[in-house]
Amino acid sequence: MRKLFSTGYTGGAVSFSMLILRLMFGGLLLLHGWPKLINFAAKMNSFPDPLGVGHKFSLGMTVFAEVFCSVLLMMGLLTRLAAVPLVICMSVIVGMVHRSDLLGFNFDKIELPLMYLTGFLVILFTGPGKFSIDGALGK
C-alpha cells in the first residue's frame, strides 16, 4: 500500500510506461492513417490543404506521419525522430484545420488530436525507454 502512494519511481517503471504509451498512441493513430493510405487515390483531390502545398502532398505528409512514423514509434526505432512529424501533424490539425473550433472553445473536434499531440510530445521529450529497439541499441 505504501508503494501505491509513493512519489518514487524506477527506471523500469518509466520504460514500461513509455512502451505502453508508444504502443497505444502509435497503434491508435495507425488505425487513422491506414484508411488514408489504402484509399489514397480517392482522397488525394479532396484532402484538406492547410499549408497550401497541394491536396496530394498534404495527404502524403499525413500518411507518412500517421502510418510510417506510427510504426517506427511502436517499434521504438528512431523514436524521437519519428515523433517530430507526428507532433507537427497534430499541431497542424489543432492549429490550422480546426482553428475555429479551438478559438470557439468547441473541443469536440480537437479533443482527439490534442490528446495525440500531448502523447507524442511526451514521447519526444522522454524518449522510447529501454523496452525499444533504440533502447536495445543503446541510443
User: 512529424: which residue's cell?
Assistant: 85
- Rounded to 5°, angle at Cα 134 from 132 and 135: 65
Res 103 pLDDT > 80: no
What is the percent of the chain with per-residue pLDDT over 70, rounded to a whole number? Answer: 99
Residue bearing the bigger pLDDT, 105 or 84? 84
Q: Give the closest residue to 79 by CA, choosing from 13, 25, 12.
A: 25
Q: pLDDT at position 139, please?
A: 65
pLDDT tens, position by position, 43-75: 999 999 999 999 999 999 999 999 999 999 999
Half-sphere CA count of 37, side-chain side, radius 13 A: 12
In Å, how far from its chain's centre is CA 87?
A: 6
Q: Are 8 and 60 in contact (CB under 8 A)?
A: no
